[in-house]
Amino acid sequence: MTAASPPGALLFDLDGTLIDSAPDLAGAANDLRALRGLPPCAYETLRPMVGSGARGMVGAAFGVRPGDAEFEPLREQFLAVYTARLLRLTRVFDAVEPVLRALESRGLPWGVVTNKAERFTRPVLAGLGLDQRAAVVISGDSTPHAKPHPAPLLEAARRLGLAPTACVYVGDDLRDVQAGRAAGMRTVAAAWGYLGGAEPIHTWGADFLIEHPAQVLKLLGLD
């Protein structure tokens, strides 16, 4: 199955789709546990929750949720610890880099739409050499609403000078698909990502589901 027509731009979620940041986010959670005299959590327990950001990490590592008395102090401590190790182990997924080069060689713009706050997004992209390559970067605080609201994706399309329907959004979380569909974009569910801890990926309602980043080129008729 292929998309009906080549897109005007390809937009990516960041954590779990474009980059593998789980080692540092899970590492920050375990660093915080160590500071509190607790043993580490298994990486396999923490990795699926990376897409939920600090909320997911604090929830998985400490069993607390927003509204619990301990949540906000733990969240702030987690973010401080994460700031200190943003790029220690984080990398662009090996299989994603050839896709980005292929898009660039064809003159097809690509960008990032993430719920990660700008104070983390910008240094990570710069440290990985992606900041000058991305045609647009929308962080979790770039618009009044974060995903699954469509506002971040609509803003990305506006900055690119494209109709939302001309864009394709690739993400590894249900919220990515919900936001993309609400924005009128074609959506691609990335099965190599973190995928969250709830609904199976095949139930998300994405237009396409792919197991490997290179498949996106074939899907869009760009291979």
Q: In this structure, what token pair is assigned to residue 37? A: 């005299």
Of the residues 13, 20, 172, 173, only one is catalytic, namely 13
What's the Cα-to-Cα distance from 158 to each of 135, 161, 171, rounded to whole Å? 12, 5, 20
Amino acid at 190: A
Are 181 and 187 in contact by the 8 Å Cβ rule? The answer is yes
Active site residue 13: yes
Any bridge partners for residue 186, and if so which? 168
Does residue 72 sit in helix, strand or coil?
helix
Give the closest residue to 53 by CA, choosing from 106, 124, 5, 136: 124
Q: In this structure, what token pair is assigned to residue 117? A: 């706050």
| Cis before 152? omega within 30 | no
Residues annotated as catalytic are 13
